[in-house]
A and B are shown apart, each in its own frame.
Chain A
Amino acid sequence: MSDSKNKKGWSRRKFLVRSAVGTGVVLGTAYLTRPVQKRSLAQIANTIEPPYQGFTNDPTIWFEILADNSVLLYSPKVEMGQGIFTSLAQMAADELEVDIKRIKVLHAPSASGNMDFFSTGGSTSISSLWVPLRELGATMRQMIMEETARIWNIPSDQLTVSDGIISDGSRTITYGEVVAQTTEWKIPKTPKLKDISKYKYIGQPIPRVDLEDKVMGAPIFGMDATMPDMVFGAVVRPDTIGATLDHIDLGGVADMPGVIQIVQEPDFVGVVATSRMEAELAKEAIKVTWKAERNWQLSDIQEMVRVGKGTAVTVQKKGSPKRILDNEDDVLQSEYTSPAGAHAQLEPNGALAFVEEDRATIYMSTQVVRLSREEIAQRLGLKSKQVNIIPTFLGGGFGRRLYTPNAIQAAVLSKAVGKPVKCFFNRKEEFQNDLFRPPTHHIMRGKLDKQGNILAIEHHLSSGDVTYGSPLLPKAITSFVGSDAGAWRGGMIQYHGIPNHRAISWHVKLPFATNYWRSLGLLANTFAIESFMDELAEKAGKDPVQFRLAHIQDDKAGKRLKAVIERAALEANYSNEVMKGRAMGFAASTDVNTPCAQVAEVSMENGMIKVEKVTCVMDPGISVNPDQIRAQCEGSIIMGLSASLYEQMTVVDGQLQPTIYGPYRMALMRDTPKEINVVLLQNDDKPGAVGEPPLGPVGAAIANAIYRLTGTRARDMPIAMV
């Protein structure tokens, strides 16, 4: 395999080996690849997140081998439903040579040092750990084998290993036994990784390792965390955009049942009580008046997000698209919009924090362990190492937990009362303090040549912040790139065979926060581009599938894209005809190098669009766990369908609304397609992005199907009623 490195060795400084109290041995390393500064800034911006970066020069803990021969794997990436713990266990088990049942995957607390420099996000967890984790597993296996050879005083090549039990043909010893009697370790060169055909777990649809906990209701989430003597906090927050505190009346609140303390800080007021309900009631009883400079309405926001307003950056250009589109006749132009969308993950944001004199312990659902730690340390005046973030399973991520200031508030409240404080948003706060998917406006222009091929095409995108203003990316990166790379994710023209094409990203600053939402700009941008491709195909009088294929270049990325498009058309038996009240729509996109094509089949039920079936063909490269990749496709399709058909945040008299499920209409069981057919191709020799790419085509595929069914082109999300 190309990525197998036989020559590399781990220095003692980088490969930590130490005995753990009472358990076994802890093995780890500072797995440092190229320093982040030397990576291409544009590359980081484009994929949002670079490959896995070790964070520190200090040794970091990856594995712990226990006396019973089980293995703890400390993950620097968090499990938010995307299934990575299962894939990591598969990768570790195959190189460690242990039964996957012996491996327990845990979230690495920040005190272990095993943190990702950036986040869990950007669909990069498995691709970024693909080489490092297997190399660590292989190195550890080799290290234990060589130690066994020393104990038995025979050459290590006479040893075999199976399920963590080493044998020389006549006797056996377990990893756990070797570990128990070894104090001085010698670190071997990293062995050659196994050939992929030899893997027992990688490539198999292994059931999720967290399946039983999640089915039996185990207390694994941030909101489930408890500590002795724990109390509850609530924080007063404005419900109006841009509001600042005018007057606060705490009269009587301190005497309310259960109230322990009212905490007034320069930037917020909180209350701590003995129960969640008492804290909430006390918070509600605090009389606050806010002042806001402006009474925002939805129409104000919609007027701001228009192509032509704000600043523009050309993010892609080939040939002379502007000259052609400005001067030629018969240019097709269409506009599309998408609204602000909420994350609406089921577990609210919050934390359980216990701040003591010289340390802080924080249990929380976070996608940014390092950033959460730095922010809390800074606020408390502690050193980073004095703050231990213990990540829990996330009750949904979707990008919402890339920014976690509410954990700071829990920590401040804990410091004030000297007890562990659990402080979580209620649902109204969760909606109103979300960092939304930004509203967008798109203008597409296209010109056909005499043969009905596209001569020139351009995509103008206007969006609120995605990466701009985010504490996740250093300012240097956004200013270097000069545009909001998150906003234009999926916004470039993937049909490189078109001789003249360009994409222009317009940026506008909105009065409320917008940020990362699963797949960032991909859903809205693909909605615009892939709807417009169908419009151009119709104008050219061509089949939309063949029309797309005709404009894709024959480079590697183009070939992979063509393959998913051709297979999707075949799998779905794609047709432009309306049959039995059903019509099909086609769309394709490439995200983080993973191409995905989808066919949506829709019907009309009581004047409402119903998505009957979705066919999804994706090429993520190597599928470490095909079942969980299918699950990500199914989930992305339903989330994308929900956002495309139903979801919309509005602004009414300065308030972001709705603030509750139901009025914030999302796809439910009844809206879910009865058939979702996922086909996985593999035209790459490594695992690629999975968690976001299948969100790309959903909206456009549905809109294109709606057009075939009704003759009406849906250009504004949400598109449930046309």
Chain B
Amino acid sequence: MNIELTVNGISNQIDVNENTPLLWVVRDMLNLKGTKFGCGKAACGACTLHIDGEAVRSCSYPVKNAIGKEVTTIEGLSSEGQIHPVQQAWIEEIVPQCGYCQPGFMMTTAALLEKIPNPTDADIDANITNVCRCGTYYRMRKAIHRAALLKQQNT
């Protein structure tokens, strides 16, 4: 069927099976490759993006549910000329190793900071449940605290 899907502020007309996971629509039809496939069962968080500001694991989210909503991917996290504090913090802490899981973590973190602007370590432990095999969690925790600080300075 034909659907209208708004991603990163741009409206798209797409002819797609409405049950297709949003992940594959974003990756293969809109060619936004920053959202990753990890497990297909919402177990690892590599595919995390935002729907109306909420972190969603898009591999298990049918595209029809996103109709009429605002989808944001890692490519749309920073606004024009202004890098998002989470991405800035990730750069300053030199977090990524292989880098594959990182967009999912950054999207999860960005959504977390909207709800809990200054998360404690316990908040981070409870809310950041994505999987990273390189073991960048140690730097990520620092980056999350730094992002919270940067975000507060920006506003």
**A interface list, Cβ under 8 A from B:** 80-83, 207-208, 210-221, 223-224, 226, 257, 275-278, 343-348, 393-398, 424, 426-427, 627, 631, 634-639, 642, 660-662, 666-670, 672-674, 676
Q: Is B12 an interface residue (CB 8 A)?
A: no
Within 8 A of A (CB), among B101-155: 101-103, 106, 121, 124-126, 128-141
Q: Is B39 an interface residue (CB 8 A)?
A: yes
Q: How far is the CA of A573 from the CA of B101 in the complex (A)?
A: 35
A669 touches B141 (CB 8 A): yes
* A-B CB contact pairs (8 Å), 23 listed: A215-B95, A215-B96, A216-B75, A216-B87, A218-B33, A221-B36, A223-B37, A226-B31, A275-B28, A277-B20, A345-B98, A345-B100, A346-B44, A395-B99, A395-B100, A427-B41, A631-B97, A634-B139, A636-B135, A639-B134, A642-B135, A669-B125, A669-B129
Interface of B (DSSP majority class): loop
Q: How far is the CA of A348 from the CA of B38 in the complex (A)?
A: 7
**A contact residues around B126 at 8 Å (CB):** 670
Q: How far is the CA of A637 from the CA of B101 in the complex (A)?
A: 18
**B contact residues around A636 at 8 Å (CB):** 135
**A contact residues around B44 at 8 Å (CB):** 346, 661
Q: Is B74 an interface residue (CB 8 A)?
A: yes
B36 touches A346 (CB 8 A): yes
A669 touches B137 (CB 8 A): yes
Q: How far is the CA of A637 from the CA of B136 in the complex (A)?
A: 10
Q: What distance in Å separates the Cβ of A439 from its nearest Cβ neighbour in chain B?
A: 20
Interface centre among A82, A207, A660 (most CB of B within 10 A): A660
Q: What distance in Å separates the Cβ of A346 from its nearest Cβ neighbour in chain B?
A: 5
Q: How far is the CA of A669 from the CA of B102 in the complex (A)?
A: 13
**B contact residues around A424 at 8 Å (CB):** 37
B36 touches A223 (CB 8 A): yes
Q: Which residue of A lies closest to B76 (CB)?
A: A217
Q: What distance in Å separates the Cβ of A399 from its nearest Cβ neighbour in chain B?
A: 12
Q: What distance in Å separates the Cβ of B45 from its nearest Cβ neighbour in chain A?
A: 9
A635 touches B129 (CB 8 A): no
**B contact residues around A393 at 8 Å (CB):** 98-99
Question: Which of A83, A212, A346, A674 meets B46, CB within 8 Å?
Answer: A346
Q: What distance in Å separates the Cβ of B108 from its nearest Cβ neighbour in chain A?
A: 10
Q: How far is the CA of A109 from the CA of B50 in the complex (A)?
A: 36
B20 touches A275 (CB 8 A): yes
**A contact residues around B21 at 8 Å (CB):** 277
Q: How far is the CA of A669 from the CA of B124 in the complex (A)?
A: 8
Q: How far is the CA of A278 from the CA of B29 in the complex (A)?
A: 14
Q: Which residue of A lies closest to B100 (CB)?
A: A395
**B contact residues around A398 at 8 Å (CB):** 133
Given contacts A346-B101, A427-B38, contact A669 B135 (CB under 8 A): no
**A contact residues around B67 at 8 Å (CB):** none
Given contacts A208-B96, A215-B90, A634-B135, contact A668 B39 (CB under 8 A): no
Given contacts A346-B46, A393-B98, contact A427 B39 (CB under 8 A): yes
B131 touches A81 (CB 8 A): no
**B contact residues around A427 at 8 Å (CB):** 38-41, 43
